[in-house]
Structure 1
Amino acid sequence: MFRGRAATIEADRAVSDRLLSVAGDGEPAVRVWQPHRQLAFGRRDCRLEGYDTAREIARERGFSPIERGVGGRAVAYDGETTLAFARADPVADFRRGTDERYEQATATLERALAELGLEPRRGEPPETFCPGTHSLSVATTDSSERKVVGIAQRVRQDAALTAGIVLVEADDEFVGTLEAVYDALGVGFDPETVGSVAGSGGPTDPDTVRATIEAELVSDATATVEPVPDRLESP
């Protein structure tokens, strides 16, 4: 299990490669952390006419624009209250097991959110951030839904990385940045669909949420904790 954050976005992203390398050698690896302040665009975003404008909007608002190799549309991390999680598992046949890994991750995050006092629902409302099949939402007082978790997966020959985002808090600046970016991309987005753990009655402390998710991802296994160094080269 890796714990902590590297000194830069680039070094921090290399840790995900390290997780896959560990899994490729036959051992699962887990990480839950607070990524640097950034706005991560998906591959489909990069092909849109408004992509350059969207990148500039993110930069002007203090979110470093990057491109990521897993997941769909753009997601933002505020550097403090937005968590990322990842679990890398060995793969015997990369053509199999995708649905099972998604199910395991979804059930794990359901348990973690329930432990934090939420009542998560599978699925997501229309026109939310980073739309995808594997998401968790919470109901609001008016019976509408807000997304709090998105899950994606990256598979290679010997290992699979199931990862995602958890919004502990989502203030007006965070939501406004997503709204401006999605507008520039020409992708539908409803700011009212953005939820958070704290906004749903859960804890406001990211460390509490991190520890709960981490414990669920590790489950009954005996985990060795490896602090993330300031610098880590991709293997």
Structure 2
Amino acid sequence: MRVLRGRAATIETDREASRRLLSTAADGEPAVRVWTPHRQIAFGRRDRRLEGYDRARERARARGFPPVERDVGGRAVAYDGETTLAFARAEPVADFRRGTDDRYERATAAVEDALRSLAGGLEPVRGEPDDSFCPGTHSLSLAAGDGEEGGTERHRKVVGIAQRVRQDAAVVAGIVLVANRGRLATVLESVYGALEVPFDPDTVGSVADAGGPPDPSVVRAAVEDALVGDASTVTVESVEASE
């Protein structure tokens, strides 16, 4: 198992580091990366087909979030450059027509275990509220920390997971919102408004909002450990040193 750590100097060189995960997996070695990407709004392929796409990019840029286009996932996601984590696990594929559900299940279960291991008694729930950012089948939510005693427990989306499959390798990737939910909700509301895609900013959650640790380094270590699992041999590679 190869583990990449750190962040490259620019958005593009950092994205190139993530692309190496697939190349490593295609050569027969699984690879994991959990890191804090640069501040950005990463738009999905579905966003690019909408009339409001250019306007959404302008809004993101005006709020200090450079717009980029990503290969994995559906709708736009936001990284604040400080507390928002990305994760990816790539592995070799013998038959690209098989294994998709198993890969999703392993990654989802690993992130669930990571969240449960954190202080704060977090209990992730599979699924998401209506009108969440980047809606998808494979998401995790946490109970909001501002619910009224005795009232109906409200959940907010904290994790989104997607998958890309090639003939020789597959990568399951996702996002974990650790803190700063208010800022992320604000920029996403503006961007989704331009795209004219339904979005409720109150569905944006974070680990800290649910009572967990606000330190991204703590959450990063937990997610990395869970994704690496019981790999017998682990080789750690520094992204900074390789750029």
TM-score clears 0.5:
yes
Distance 1:109 1:25 in 2: 25
Deviation (angstroms), 1:124: 0.5
Partner of 1:32: 34
Q: 1:231 to 1:180 in 2, by over 3 A?
A: farther
Distance 2:143 2:49 in 1: 34
Partner of 1:4: 6
Task: Give yes or no for contact 1:127–1:188 (8 Å, CA) kept in 2.
Answer: yes
Are residues 1:152 and 2:162 paired? yes
The secondary structure found in structure 2 opposite 1:225 is strand
Are residues 1:225 and 2:213 paired? no
Report the residue type matching 2:11 in the other structure: I
Task: Give yes or no for contact 1:24–1:158 (8 Å, CA) kept in 2.
Answer: yes
Partner of 1:83: 85
Deviation (angstroms), 1:55: 0.2
Please give the per-residue CA displacement for 1:141-190, whole angstroms capped at 9, x wherever unaligned. 34121000000001101100000000001342221100000000000000
Are residues 1:143 and 2:147 paired? no
Q: What RMSD over aligned residues (CA atoms) do the two structures have, in Å?
A: 1.0
Partner of 2:208: 198
The secondary structure found in structure 2 opposite 1:45 is helix
Deviation (angstroms), 1:11: 0.5
Distance 1:95 1:189 in 2: 33
Deviation (angstroms), 1:229: 2.8
* Identical residues among aligned pairs (%): 71
Deviates more, 1:165-174 or 1:176-185: 165-174
Report the residue type matching 2:184 in the other structure: F
Partner of 1:185: 195
4+ residue segments displaced more than 3 Å: none
Distance 1:60 1:230 in 2: 32
Distance 1:202 1:227 in 2: 28
Deviation (angstroms), 1:231: 6.2
Structure 2 stretches lacking a partner, 5+ long: none
Please give the per-residue CA displacement for 1:122-152, whole angstroms capped at 9, x wherever unaligned. 0011000000000000123341210000000
Report the residue type matching 1:199 in the other structure: D
The secondary structure found in structure 2 opposite 1:127 is coil
Distance 2:106 2:215 in 1: 25
Partner of 1:131: 135
Partner of 1:21: 23
Report the residue type matching 2:101 in the other structure: D
Distance 2:135 2:184 in 1: 17
Partner of 2:172: 162
Q: 1:7 to 1:230 in 2, by over 3 A?
A: farther
Task: Give yes or no for contact 1:7–1:231 (8 Å, CA) kept in 2.
Answer: no
Structure 1 stretches lacking a partner, 5+ long: none
| TM-score normalized by the length of structure 1 | 0.96
The secondary structure found in structure 2 opposite 1:162 is strand
Task: Give yes or no for contact 1:11–1:230 (8 Å, CA) kept in 2.
Answer: no
The correspondence for 2:217, drawn from 199, 207, 224, is: 207
The correspondence for 1:120, drawn from 111, 120, 124, is: 124
Report the residue type matching 2:133 in the other structure: F
Report the residue type matching 1:76 in the other structure: A
Task: Give yes or no for contact 1:84–1:164 (8 Å, CA) kept in 2.
Answer: yes
The correspondence for 1:57, drawn from 56, 59, 65, is: 59
The secondary structure found in structure 2 opposite 1:92 is coil
The secondary structure found in structure 2 opposite 1:44 is helix
